[in-house]
Structure 1
């Protein structure tokens, strides 16, 4: 735990980390502490948001929203990479936070799926950063903006002696179905365009924290960029009725930094990307000689089927029926890859296991 940063500590930490910033008038005394009777702190981490709009400074600092008085964050990160300091006290940005996620942030452990049954007020305990982005999946975080974003979170982590797991996204803490932050990023360091995820962001914060605050990532092109690791599966088996193609909705994710896929998400990889790996399937109740067809399919961002890849078949055998299919493909921008199954037998079967393991190069 830590006491909230003083104005002098804010300035020194951001300056040392190379974050360009300006100070909104009155920020050092702005907060909801007196109005609510709830003092800000102890603090345990940073909660990252996107604004879902443009020109949000007045809204965040002085106007607020109906039923939600300002300030709505401690800082705003503009498109040009400049941070605007808005409040030093309590801000209305986090709302209710799942208690199990808050405990993981405090312990600096991987964040679990939010348990909605028990919550705490995140405004008391978390810094809030709003990053300017429309949140429509098309508006791009600029290279300067993402670089400052990584530096900002790293600066607060370094100031308080936290590791990168003290940086969280609103989508990870919310019990109300928040989806931010999200969207495409123009680039960072050697990396070209990629899709924002909290796992990758925490990796970039961790890299900064391994260097002095004055460090900057190289921007030299390098074709050996480390790919993302995708490992998806099923928490429980499910019944597959005969006669119709159906997407596999993955309910489990295993990785060093989980969080790239929501439970029940049918999307395996989002384009543009190149990937290689395998899909392992196990069926129960598939009669000997009966067939389940498997194919990869591409959907657009609106969920419309755009392209189906060649069919693979798994034939029933005594006991369980197994198959391992290779995955090596290129998927374009605006396309999402899913796995589809068609049970050609006379009755329902169980999809007992479905595991995707892949390396993904985005862009």
Structure 2
């Protein structure tokens, strides 16, 4: 689970992915939060508008209809591949969907179960993006628009430490839906995964020194000297530097592109300039040194593992049902894998077993006693 991004952080994530973003009216305070919860969030739902024309589609998604108030999504992706932000918070886009699908998204399963039930509120759990398309199977999907869908999805996944398996189509969530018609979601996820395996294209990603560190092995691979997407944990950021067709708080205190820290901002302290949140370091408080990979196996409980879990929760990477415990479990592994993906690692280097580089950047405090 994850705390929803603030308006400022969402905008920054989209800019960092190289997207052109338009802020529509009072989108930062525009939501349906008074009607239900917003968060924790677990993924992104892609829709088509069943409309044509950018201005008319954006206005509809912002205002909604007489029977379904807006916002009808968080952003609209137009034919030119530009993003129009229309809401920040709960939006009427996903409606009721299948609980089994939600659980599969949370686990980031390789395959989704069939969406044969409508028993779970999706408006509180998913970001929603409407893509301008008639949805008749004939209206084309321009390359610029498809690329923007990938970038939007990747931006949110990067911000939360999710993989491409956190992105689904409305047709995979709610029975009877066909959107986004003309897009094969499995293929889209594959493209998002490839994009996530590379640095972000935009101002916050291009030019970042990803570095190399042959000393760390975060995964079970054969080395760590590769860039993200290869086999190396040392390749992470340098620490120095249903909308119109169906039913479904942000604060936003900064301007466009403003960075208030990276993922987990507000939980772990100020950012370090890399887009990753780090805890405050007054007087250099003690941090637990990397205990070696053998420490993260089922067996004797350790307070270090519990402390690690608390830091993962603080960084919005926690996949725990309750308080993280001192024994190594699948929930610990899944949570740590989300942290590794946050740092840019892929494949075997994001297997959920800590390595020296990712451990150092997590900064786990020395447990008391």
TM tier relative to shorter chain: 0.5 to 0.7
Per-residue CA deviation, residues 124-177 of structure 1 (Å, 9 max, x unaligned), is: 1100000000001110111111111100000000000000010000000112x0
Report 1 or 2 for greater relative contact order, CA contacts < 8 Å, sequence distance ≥ 6. Answer: 2
Say yes or no: does 1:128 pair with 2:113.
Answer: no
In the aligned structure 2, how far is the partner of 1:124 from the partner of 1:12? 22
Correspondences of 1:207-246 after superposition (within 5 Å): 207-214=194-201
Q: 2:42 aligns with which of 38, 44, 47?
A: 44
8 Å contact from structure 1 (residues 154, 208) kept in 2:
yes
Aligned twin of 1:2 = 2
Aligned twin of 2:333 = none
Q: Looking at secondary structure, tell me which structure has more strand per residue.
A: 1
SS at match of 2:46: strand
SS at match of 1:123: coil
Aligned twin of 1:88 = 88
Aligned twin of 1:58 = 59
Say yes or no: does 1:200 pair with 2:198.
Answer: no
Per-residue CA deviation, residues 183-233 of structure 1 (Å, 9 max, x unaligned), is: 2xxxxxxxxxxxx20000000000011111128xxxxxxxxxxxxxxxxxx
In the aligned structure 2, how far is the partner of 1:214 from the partner of 1:8? 19
Structure 1 stretches of 4+ with a deviation exceeding 2 A read none
8 Å contact from structure 1 (residues 51, 134) kept in 2:
yes
In the aligned structure 1, how far is the partner of 2:60 from the partner of 2:171? 21
SS at match of 2:69: coil
For residue 59 of structure 1, report the CA deviation from its aligned partner: 1.1
8 Å contact from structure 1 (residues 13, 159) kept in 2:
yes
SS at match of 2:168: strand
Aligned twin of 2:149 = 149
In the aligned structure 1, how far is the partner of 2:201 from the partner of 2:84? 20
For residue 65 of structure 1, report the CA deviation from its aligned partner: 2.3
Say yes or no: does 1:27 pair with 2:14.
Answer: no
For residue 67 of structure 1, report the CA deviation from its aligned partner: 2.0
Structure 1 runs not aligned, ≥5 long:
184-195, 216-363
Aligned twin of 1:67 = 67
Q: How many residues align?
A: 198
Aligned twin of 1:303 = none
8 Å contact from structure 1 (residues 20, 148) kept in 2:
no
Aligned twin of 1:178 = 177
8 Å contact from structure 1 (residues 73, 128) kept in 2:
yes
SS at match of 1:128: strand
Structure 2 runs not aligned, ≥5 long:
203-369
In the aligned structure 1, how far is the partner of 2:23 from the partner of 2:66? 25
| Structure number, greater radius of gyration | 1
